[in-house]
Each structure stands twice: as C-alpha cells, then as structure tokens.
A and B are shown apart, each in its own frame.
Chain A
Amino acid sequence: MYCEECKQRPATVHLTQMYNGKKVEIHLCEACAAQKGAFMFDVASNFSIPNLLGSLFGSNFNLPEVQTQLPGRVCPNCGMSLNDIMNTGRLGCSECYTAFEKELEPTLRRVHGNSEHVGKVPARGGEKVMVKKKIEHLKQQLQQAVAAENYEKAAEIRDTIKDTEKKLG
C-alpha cells in the first residue's frame, strides 16, 4: 500500500480517525505523517492557551464588526456580555449558549468539527430528546416496512409514532 498523501513511499503509518461516530482510515508514509502531525499538533497546542475562547474569537471574527454590536447585548440569565466571554474564555451559564449561539458557532466548529452531540442523554430534562430519538428510529423502521411491502406492520408502526408524538406535546 502506498502513502495516500505523496503516493510515492510505502504507507507505514495507519491512523483511524473518528468522525461523527464513523471510522475513517488514513494510510501515510512516515514523512507525510510527521508533516501532517506537526501541523495538527500546532493547532492542538493552541488549545492549552488559557484564554482559548478569546483567541479563537479573535481569529474567526472581524473584531470591529462584532464590537459595534456589543453594547447592551448580554445573556438575559447571567448578565455576561460577549466581551466578558472573550476576556475570560468562559461562558457565564447554560443560557449563554443560546444567547450567543451565532458567535459561538465558529469556535465550536474549530474545536469539535461540524458535529452534534451523539453521546449520553440525561434521564431528566433529556426526556424529549429520547422521545425524538425514538421517533426517528421508528420512522426508519416504517420506511423499511414499507419497502418490504409489509403494510400491516407499517400501520402498526405509524400508530406507535402517533402515540409517541403526543408525548412531545
């Protein structure tokens, strides 16, 4: 197997990366791996800077533009402004995520990629999420049943979906 990057030297470094729960395999020669690795490591070492958020905002935003929007815009729950968040590198409360959703987006994308949560869901406050996930799952089953022309089962699943959707209110 040849290196996927230079396609000249044999691939001796085999990496498995997880993206949204999917495995992606990469095969590289040592030279290319070192080069790629060095680049990635530079990015990673930025993470350790204490005011991470501030620096990330800085590189993702046209600062003057953001600052003109700043006055008066604070989180309705905790009173933190975007300026406060940039200075401390920390959010003020759970509601800050909603209040500054747009401004946080590039930071989250840079740190975590373009991802959504797929892990554990709390039993409390997570009921709706669980119900939604169940409905999604049922809809997949419904499609399969229809594809298999199993209409009796499809009708059954459709009823279950209706019942489940009532729980969402």
Chain B
Amino acid sequence: MKADNLLNSNFVRWMAADEGPESDIVISSRIRLARNLNLIPFPQILDRESGKKSLQTIEEAWSKSTTPDLKEMELLTFDRLTALERKMLVEKHLISPGHAESDESFRGVLTNQDGSLVIMINEEDHLRIQCFLPGLQLEECYRQAQQIDDDLEQHLNFAFDERRGYLTSCPTNVGTGMRASVMLHLPAIAISGQINQIFHNIAQLGMTVRGIYGEGTEVIGNFFQLSNQVTLGQTEEDIINNLTGITKRIIEQERLLRERLREDMKYQLEDRVGRAYGILSSARVMNSNEAMALLSDVRLGVDLGILAKITAFALNELVVAIRPAHLQKKVGKEMDAFHRDIERAEVIKERLAATREH
C-alpha cells in the first residue's frame, strides 16, 4: 500500500516549503470542491446500504478514470484504518475531524501518495476533491482539483442546478462548491496588535479567518487560515484571484512589520527568538500550546536570519509531528497527556539537534 506513507511518516506534500512561493509567510494553499451525486441522499442521512451504493458508484467512476493523478490514487475506507490513523490524517490537515470519527466501510478517502490530492468520500458531501500544495499556489491547486473533477464527471451525474450551481449538503457551499484557503504565519502582525483590524477588513471582503490548531476558536502559534465565504455568484477564477490578491496584501504588511521589528526592536526580537530556541532545545515537558507559540518565534527567527540552519520544511514537519496521534504512533502505544508532553519535548529536541548537524 503506497498511501501507507501518509500513516508511517510525517511527510505530506504541503510541508515542502522550498517548492512553494512566499512560503516564509504562506504555509500552504488548499482548494476543496464539494460534489454530490444526483438524487442519492447526502451522506449524513445515508444508512449503510445506500452508503455502500454511493461508494460503489464513486468507485466505478474512479475505475474508468483516465487522468493519471486520479488513476494512481488509493482507496482507504475507514473500516480499514484505526481511530489513531484517521486522527493522523486530521493532524496532517488532509481530512476533517468529523470525517475521522466514522469507522464505516462506506466512508473514507481516495488519496495519492504524498497527500497533495485527497478526495474525502461520503463526508458532508459525497465527494470533496481537495488539493494541498506548499506556499501560495491556489491557481495550481485549482488546476489539479479541476482535472480530477473533469474526469469524475464523465462518469458521474453530479447534483447541479442552473441557478444554484453545484448542490451541497450545507447551503453555504452551493454554487461553485469551492472553498479556497491559505494557511498563514503572521507573527509580526500579531505582535504589532494589528490582527483584529486586518480580520475586520478581510471579513468585509467576504472572506473568513480562523486560527488553527486551537481547541475551538483559540489562536495558537500565530497561524491563521484565510478562506472565501461566498461560493455563489462568483466564478472560481474570481474567488481565487480575490483570495490571492488579499493574501498578497497581507504578505506585504507582514513583511513591512517584520522589517520594522528588526529595526526598532532588534534586541527584544533576538532575545525572544533565542529564548524560544533555548526552551525548545532543553525542556523536558512541553504541552502543545507552549510548543506552538515557541515554534512560531523560532520560525520568525529563521525567516529573519537570526537563527540559521533550521529549514521551514523541518518546522512544518514538527508542527505535525508533535500532535497527539503522531506522537502516539511514533511510540507505538496510547499515552496520557503528561506522557505525550514528555514525548513532545523529546521529538522537538531530536529534530532541532538533527537540523543543527547538517
């Protein structure tokens, strides 16, 4: 099984920062297309029997596909994955937490080897075609996702209405059925206290921002996910251009503020970065929130050349490697929060030491 990689290593494609434009600020880009089979009940009310039928229909279409990216995918149904393995897919951002809760044989994913193309099957919609790439690459994500969509629709009757567009389980997704998002690291904007104002401006443009990795809405590590809110009345190109444009403006602002920080607060900044690195490389017990906050400082230090020899790739990988399911997979057993905190400190130390040696 090739897709085993996704469960046995930390790596997924969006971590490869050196392949992505603007990857000092934009961690990753994602396009998600929601598609449903005409007349078949939406997944949340599917019983096992009609669920199987829905999966069968999708599998048949997949077997007839001609696009290499789609043909090479592998089907992982959730009865064949442990709860821990499903959580690892959530921690890698490839599937939603809700999807991972199910162990039904008619729910699952079609995925390629490096996790850049992942189709959630019978999640909230029958199909959610997703493409994840490092850096700011929404157009390329869309191109790849659309290719998959074009191939599948040769063999599937998608629920579509002239006025409403693609019909989805939740009416917030009708129209293009497309959600475009970028994951941003904005430490300087956060330090300068401008984050709320930027949120306000973004909301005005029909976009939403949410913090990531928080339990609930809490923002941890200065990571933010920016996505389009409106899916109806705009073309896919409009949505992508709009989001890319806004992202570029945020990048400009973040760079400007980083420059200003370096000029006006050189010592405070270097002190903060140095302390973060010091704690990360010598702590014995580390909870997730503290780790994320310190890793954010270290990342800023790397981006500004204060710390050398740690790659953005290593930091992307760490952010996933220190999450509960990945820690438990590594150790090979279930652990309570305290023992996870010990293992987390260990993993961080190992990784930082390894990057120093290079």
| Chain B binds chain A | yes
Return the chain A residue nearest B237 by Cβ: A119
The answer for the CA separation of A108 and B166 in the assembled complex, in Å, is: 13
The answer for the CA separation of A21 and B206 in the assembled complex, in Å, is: 13
The answer for the CA separation of A36 and B169 in the assembled complex, in Å, is: 31
Cβ contact within 8 Å between A40 and B203: yes
Known: A91-B42, A124-B156. Contact between A112 and B201, CB under 8 A? no
Cβ contact within 8 Å between B208 and A47: yes
Query: What is the minimal beta-carbon distance from A151 to any residue of chain B, in angstroms?
Result: 33
Cβ contact within 8 Å between A78 and B41: yes
A73: CB under 8 A from chain B? no
B242: CB under 8 A from chain A? yes
Cβ contact within 8 Å between B44 and A88: yes
Of the candidates B150, B199, B200, the one having the most CB atoms from chain A within 10 angstroms of its own CB is: B200
Query: What is the minimal beta-carbon distance from A153 to any residue of chain B, in angstroms?
Result: 29
B1: CB under 8 A from chain A? no
Query: What is the minimal beta-carbon distance from B51 to any residue of chain A, in angstroms?
Result: 13
Cβ contact within 8 Å between A97 and B234: no
Cβ contact within 8 Å between B236 and A120: yes
Cβ contact within 8 Å between B203 and A111: no
A104: CB under 8 A from chain B? yes
The answer for the CA separation of A108 and B230 in the assembled complex, in Å, is: 10
A150: CB under 8 A from chain B? no
What are the interface flags for A92-121 relative to B under an 8 Å C-beta threshold, 1 for contact and 0 otherwise? 111101000000100110011101111111
Q: Which residues of A contact B161 (CB under 8 A)?
A: 94, 97, 117
B174: CB under 8 A from chain A? yes
Return the chain B residue nearest A30 by Cβ: B197
Known: A36-B204, A40-B204. Contact between A123 and B153, CB under 8 A? yes
Q: Which of A125-133, A138-146, A157-165 contacts B (4 or more CB under 8 A)?
A: A125-133
User: Within A67-95, which residues are at the interface with B (CB < 8 Å)?
Assistant: 77-78, 80, 88-95
A53: CB under 8 A from chain B? yes
Contact of A44 among B44, B150, B208, B235 (CB under 8 A): B208
The answer for the CA separation of A48 and B214 in the assembled complex, in Å, is: 15
B232: CB under 8 A from chain A? yes
User: Within B135-168, which residues are at the interface with A (CB < 8 Å)?
Assistant: 146, 149-150, 153-154, 156-167
Q: Which residues of A contact B174 (CB under 8 A)?
A: 97, 108, 112, 117
A58: CB under 8 A from chain B? no
Query: What is the minimal beta-carbon distance from B250 to any residue of chain A, in angstroms?
Result: 13
The answer for the CA separation of A107 and B44 in the assembled complex, in Å, is: 20
Q: Which residues of A contact B110 (CB under 8 A)?
A: none
A17: CB under 8 A from chain B? yes
The answer for the CA separation of A92 and B47 in the assembled complex, in Å, is: 12
Number of contact residues on A: which range applies?
A: 35 or more
A52: CB under 8 A from chain B? yes
Cβ contact within 8 Å between B233 and A40: no
B65: CB under 8 A from chain A? no
User: Within B36-69, which residues are at the interface with A (CB < 8 Å)?
Assistant: 36, 38-42, 44-45
The answer for the CA separation of A94 and B159 in the assembled complex, in Å, is: 6
Number of contact residues on B: which range applies?
A: 35 or more
What are the interface flags for A34-67 relative to B under an 8 Å C-beta threshold, 1 for contact and 0 otherwise? 1011101101100110001100000000000000
Cβ contact within 8 Å between B44 and A112: no
Q: Which residues of A contact B231 (CB under 8 A)?
A: 112
Cβ contact within 8 Å between A117 and B163: yes
Known: A37-B197, A41-B199, A48-B210. Contact between A97 and B167, CB under 8 A? yes
The answer for the CA separation of A129 and B162 in the assembled complex, in Å, is: 6
Cβ contact within 8 Å between A16 and B233: no
Query: What is the minimal beta-carbon distance from A86 to any residue of chain B, in angstroms?
Result: 12
The answer for the CA separation of A13 and B246 in the assembled complex, in Å, is: 13
Of the candidates B153, B165, B166, B178, the one having the most CB atoms from chain A within 10 angstroms of its own CB is: B165
Contact of A117 among B165, B197, B229 (CB under 8 A): B165
Query: What is the minimal beta-carbon distance from A143 to any residue of chain B, in angstroms?
Result: 23
Cβ contact within 8 Å between B45 and A80: yes
Contact of A92 among B41, B178, B229 (CB under 8 A): B41
Q: Which residues of A contact B158 (CB under 8 A)?
A: 122, 124-125
**Extra contacts besides A37-B203, A37-B204 (14): CB < 8 Å:** A15-B201, A18-B238, A21-B233, A34-B197, A34-B200, A47-B172, A47-B229, A78-B45, A107-B171, A111-B232, A117-B163, A117-B174, A118-B233, A119-B175
Pairs A–B under 8 Å by Cβ, sample size 30: A18-B238, A21-B234, A33-B197, A34-B200, A36-B204, A37-B199, A40-B200, A41-B203, A47-B172, A47-B208, A48-B217, A77-B39, A90-B124, A91-B42, A93-B41, A93-B42, A94-B38, A97-B164, A97-B167, A108-B174, A111-B230, A111-B232, A116-B232, A117-B163, A118-B233, A120-B166, A120-B235, A124-B153, A126-B160, A132-B162
Among all A-B residue pairs, the 4 with the closest Cβ atoms: A37-B200, A115-B233, A117-B165, A94-B159
